[in-house]
Amino acid sequence: MPQRSLCLVLTLACALALAAPAAAEIKIGVLLPISGKASQYGITQEVGLRMAEAELEKLKIKGEAVKLIVYDTRGDNAEAINLTRKLIHSDKVLLVLGPFFSAECEVAFPIANQGKTPIVTAAAAKPGIAAKNRPYAFRMALTSDKMNGPLVDKWQAANKGQIKKVVILTDNKDAFTKADGTQVFPAVLKAKGIEVLDNISFQTGDIDFSAQVTKVKGLNPDGVVVVGLYNEGGNVVRELRKQGLQQPTIGALGMSEAKFIEIAGPAGEGVMVVNPFWADNPDPKVAAWVAEYKKSGKTPNNAASLIYDSLFITKQCIEKGGVTNQPDDLAKDRDKLKDCWTAVKGYPGITGNIAINADGDAVLEPFVLVVKNGRFELVR
Amino acid sequence: MLLQQLVNGVMLGSTYALIAIGYTLVFGVLHLVHLAHGEVFMIGAFIGLYVVLWTGAGVIPALIGALLGTALLGMLIELVAFRPIRARGGHFLAPMISTIGVGIVLQEVTTRLFGGELVGFPHRLEPVTFRLGPVAVTSVQLLILGVALVLMVTLHLFVARTRLGMAMRATAESLLTARLLGINTSRIILLTFAIASGLGGVAGVLVGLSFNAISPFMGVDMGVKGLAIMLIGGLGNIHGAMVGGMILGVIEVLSVAYLASSYRDAFAFAMMIAILLFRPQGLFGSAQSVEARV
């Protein structure tokens, strides 16, 4: 059977041809929550990641192929620790992208710092997590303390300065919303001279918010601040309007997603939120990217655009930072990448102009958005 | 304020009661804790949702679809996961463990099919809100209360007055004696599963409409609460399930209103333990036995 042996020879040749450059491929580790209850967050981000991967397949970095080693943390802290170790010590990646949640970052960042490997989360928004793990930890996301100020200003302006007393509704089960609702928002509101009448809690996973909303009604505030993720946040707003509370309302970062509008429905109209990424941005570069993303059947959010930008910043750093990608130079290469990430300034990404500050946090321009006719519109 | 909070509690409570009645029925007749009932309830919500999404129909077809779909599912569960174990004379705990397995399978399959994301009914089905002075209630909340009350009465009449109900009670009393008296106990057990599951399905649609939160995990919390209510009310007692549901709903709402939401479940379950300490048979259970008192 000559044909068959020819086939075999060809396959072998191909395998050899593929195996040769495989030794010189650029390895980048990625940690995402792809399964489990929080999988939706990871899946949205993964689409952005795969878009970048597809582009890099053609572009290559310094002529070398890029290999993404993607692991699923399931949003679990213990998994995040183990997988970070695995990426650094056995997969020997140049850089780790992830993990997603603030709680995961708090445990994974120290490990990357000890392993002298740059680690970049493109989502976690709790203030201070990168600052505690200098110099190798970076956060490619805007922390809520830098977004809530502009949000409250625009909210106050839209209501002609009439907001003097507010009630905060906080999801105190989620690490991010808890910090945001009990520390960041109260500080911002106090600085702007707005009195917080009460801070009422609810929990991620709750479905009944009637008791909390009745309590808000009794306090009769000028405005309501809802600090939740989109599911619960959407249903809190729905319950507010159901019980007849028409006060102006703002929502935390977690509610600035298309899914919030879907859950809240007509009740969501007029709610103001803030996000460093705006999916309906008319800027042609962003619009083209969003159109490409939407082919997946989903709507992109900031986590998707930020991981995409992170991968391309890493590409630029490998090209300009003198990374050799030789096995012997791994430690030096990781250091060079760290130095390059530390100095990122004015990078033109999908998420606007990106810089990294002294805390390792990204500096981005926040967009204040308002729900109008079932979409987010920019508040000017 | 307090009035609205009490209304909130009663409305939440009737939701819980609706689920607890299904548990109670299965326990009353079979002395079996059907731990997949929460998942049957969840499947009911999904069936209702897809009836609405695919046919563009309203609430009534969704309820009918869920009722029939979950009744069938209930019978299937009985035939696959319960009957074979009973026939082979397994340990008395085996059927319960088997229903845990069924619950997990249903949850995983639903997650694969529809994703883990929270979904709601289309907003055109948004319930109407009525405002009576300071109190606000929605049409769906009133419907839930109505359905729960009607179910309580009709189920009671069905079990107490009809021949089929009598056969059910006989089966509950003693499987062997009932069979000797010529009752087709297998069919009675199947019927019990069908009725209890159908009710669970209806509850799923109503809860989906009311809370706008349908997900593969919605049955877990509701299932545990339904179980707790069954214990508070008195095992196998339908009136007990109703009253137990109301008590749990009001306690939860008041603990959120006057303490904090973190105490919600802790407080509710501490109350359950307290009730069981003073009345181990539950509020409406009899001291002699926990036989079917439906």
DSSP B205-261: HHHHHHH--B-TTHHHHHHHHHHHHHHHH-TT-HHHHHHHHHHHHHHHHHHHHHT-G
CB within 8 Å: A211 and B256 = yes
Please indicate, yes or no, whether residues A137 and A154 belong to a single structural domain of this protein.
no
Among B8, B12, B5, which Cα is nearest to B229's? Answer: B12
CB within 8 Å: A242 and B138 = yes
What is the per-residue pLDDT for A187?
Answer: 95
Note the Cα A48 to chain centre separation in Å.
11
Cβ–Cβ contacts within 10 Å for residue A65, how many? 15
A313's tokens: 């910043």
Q: Is the pLDDT of residue A335 over 90?
A: yes
Please indicate, yes or no, whether residues A10 and A128 belong to a single structural domain of this protein.
yes
Q: Which domain holds residue B45?
A: 2-278
Residue A223: CA count within 13 A, CB half-sphere: 24
For residue A69, give every residue at least 6 positions away whose Cβ sits within 8 Å of its Cβ, in sequence order, or none: A27, A28, A29, A30, A87, A91, A93
CB within 8 Å: A37 and B116 = yes
CB within 8 Å: B136 and A266 = no
A139: β partners:
A121, A361
Contacts of B1 in chain A (CB under 8 A): 214-215, 217-218
For residue A182, give every residue at least 6 positions away whose Cβ sits within 8 Å of its Cβ, in sequence order, or none: A170, A172, A199
DSSP letter (8 states) at residue A328 = G
> Residue B284 domain-assigned?
no
| Helix, strand, coil abundance in chain A, percent, nearest 5 | 50, 20, 30
* CA closest to A266 among chain B residues: B123
Please indicate, yes or no, whether residues A47 and A177 belong to a single structural domain of this protein.
no
Please indicate, yes or no, whether residues A137 and A205 belong to a single structural domain of this protein.
no
* Three-state secondary-structure class, residue A379: coil
| pLDDT per residue rounded down to tens, chain B (294 residues) | 788 999 999 999 998 988 898 888 888 877 888 899 999 999 999 999 999 999 988 889 999 999 999 999 999 999 998 888 888 877 878 888 898 999 999 998 998 888 777 888 888 888 888 888 778 888 888 988 898 888 888 888 888 889 988 898 888 888 888 889 888 988 999 999 999 999 999 999 999 988 888 999 999 888 888 888 888 888 778 888 888 899 999 999 999 988 877 788 888 788 888 888 888 888 877 544 444 444
Contacts of B212 in chain A (CB under 8 A): 234-235, 238, 263
For residue B121, give every residue at least 6 positions away whose Cβ sits within 8 Å of its Cβ, in sequence order, or none: B48, B49, B52, B62, B208, B209, B212, B214
Contacts of B257 in chain A (CB under 8 A): 211-212, 214-215
Contacts of B221 in chain A (CB under 8 A): 205
- List the single best residue of B261, B262, B267 to mutate versus A (max A Cβ within 10 A): B261
Q: Please report, in angstroms and rounded to a whole number, the separation of the first and last CA atoms in chain A.
A: 74
Please indicate, yes or no, whether residues A90 and A202 belong to a single structural domain of this protein.
no
Task: Give burial (CB, 10 Å; 0-12/13-18/19+) of A74.
Answer: middle
Among A121, A48, A46, A107, which Cα is nearest to A341's? Answer: A121
- List the single best residue of A170, A203, A204, A210 to mutate versus B (max B Cβ within 10 A): A210
Q: How far apart are CA B224 and CA A371, in angstroms?
A: 37
> Residue A259 domain-assigned?
yes
Chain A and chain B share a number of CB contacts under 8 A equal to: 82
Q: Is the pLDDT of residue A9 over 60?
A: no
Residue type, A287: A
Q: How far apart are CA A249 and CA A237, in angstroms?
A: 8
Phi, psi (degrees; rounded to nearest 5) at A294: -65, -15
Does B116 contact A at CB distance below 8 Å? yes
What is the per-residue pLDDT for A148?
Answer: 92
Instruction: Quote the crossing angle between the two packed helices A210-219 and A230-242, to the nearest 10°.
Output: 60
Cα radius of gyration rounded to whole Å, chain B? 19
Q: Please report, in angstroms and rounded to a whole number, the separation of the first and last CA atoms in chain B.
A: 37
What is the per-residue pLDDT for A16?
Answer: 47
* CA closest to B250 among chain A residues: A211
Q: How many domains does chain B have?
A: 1
> Residue A227 domain-assigned?
yes
CA angle (A251, A190, B254) in 5-degree steps: 60
Q: Which of B207, B217, B257 sits opposite A215 (nearest CB)?
A: B257
Please indicate, yes or no, whether residues A131 and A13 belong to a single structural domain of this protein.
yes
* Three-state secondary-structure class, residue B158: helix
> Residue B288 domain-assigned?
no
Please indicate, yes or no, whether residues A135 and A194 belong to a single structural domain of this protein.
no
* Three-state secondary-structure class, residue A135: coil
Contact A202, A258 (CB under 8 A): no
Does B139 contact A at CB distance below 8 Å? no
Q: Which of A201, A235, A243 sits opposite B213 (nearest CB)?
A: A235
Q: How many domains does chain A have?
A: 2
User: Where does the pLDDT of residue A174 fall: very low under 50, low under 70, confident under 90, or very high at 90 and above?
Assistant: confident
Output the domain CATH number for residue A43.
Answer: 3.40.50.2300
Contacts of A211 in chain B (CB under 8 A): 5, 8-9, 252-254, 256-257
Contact B75, B235 (CB under 8 A): no
Please indicate, yes or no, whether residues A247 and A300 belong to a single structural domain of this protein.
no
Q: How far apart are CA A303 and CA A299, in angstroms?
A: 11
CB within 8 Å: A242 and B131 = no
Among B217, B237, B222, B221, which Cα is nearest to B293's? Answer: B237
Q: How far apart are CA A113 and CA A105, in angstroms?
A: 12
Parallel, antiparallel or unpaired: strands A223-227 and A165-171: parallel
Does A102 contact B at CB distance below 8 Å? no
B131's tokens: 């405002």
Q: How far apart are CA A43 and CA A45, in angstroms?
A: 5
Structural domain ending residue among the three candidates A275, A304, A331: A275
Does B267 contact A at CB distance below 8 Å? no
Contact A69, A30 (CB under 8 A): yes
Q: Tell me the per-residue pLDDT of A71-111, one tens digit each, with 9 for 90 and over.
A: 999 889 999 999 999 999 999 999 999 999 988 999 999 99
Phi, psi (degrees; rounded to nearest 5) at A60: 60, 165
> Residue A380 domain-assigned?
no
Q: Which of B118, B136, B211 sits opposite A243 (nearest CB)?
A: B136
Contact A316, A347 (CB under 8 A): yes
Residue A334: CA count within 13 A, CB half-sphere: 27
Q: How far apart are CA A234 and CA A248, in angstroms?
A: 15
* CA closest to B127 among chain A residues: A242
B219's tokens: 């049955």
What is the per-residue pLDDT for A11?
Answer: 52
Q: Is the pLDDT of residue A3 over 60?
A: no
> Residue A108 domain-assigned?
yes
* Three-state secondary-structure class, residue B89: coil
Contact B235, B53 (CB under 8 A): no
My answer on whether omega of the bond before A99 falls inside 30° of 0, hence cis, is yes
What is the per-residue pLDDT for B293?
Answer: 43
Residues of A (188-247) whose Cβ lies below 8 Å from B: 200-203, 205-208, 210-212, 214-215, 217-218, 231, 234-235, 238, 242-244
Please indicate, yes or no, whether residues A130 and A57 belong to a single structural domain of this protein.
yes
Q: Is the pLDDT of residue A14 over 60?
A: no
Among A140, A42, A191, which Cα is nearest to A129's? Answer: A140
Q: Which domain holds residue A167?
A: 144-275
Output the domain CATH number for residue B190.
Answer: 1.10.3470
Please indicate, yes or no, whether residues A297 and A267 belong to a single structural domain of this protein.
no
B148: β partners:
none
Distances (CA, A) of B154 to A102, B14, B148, B150, B191: 52, 16, 10, 6, 16
Please indicate, yes or no, whether residues A59 and A78 belong to a single structural domain of this protein.
yes
pLDDT, averaged across chain A: 90
What is the per-residue pLDDT for B89?
Answer: 77
Please indicate, yes or no, whether residues A39 and A117 belong to a single structural domain of this protein.
yes
* CA closest to B211 among chain A residues: A207
More confident site: B271 or A167: A167
What is the per-residue pLDDT for B288?
Answer: 44
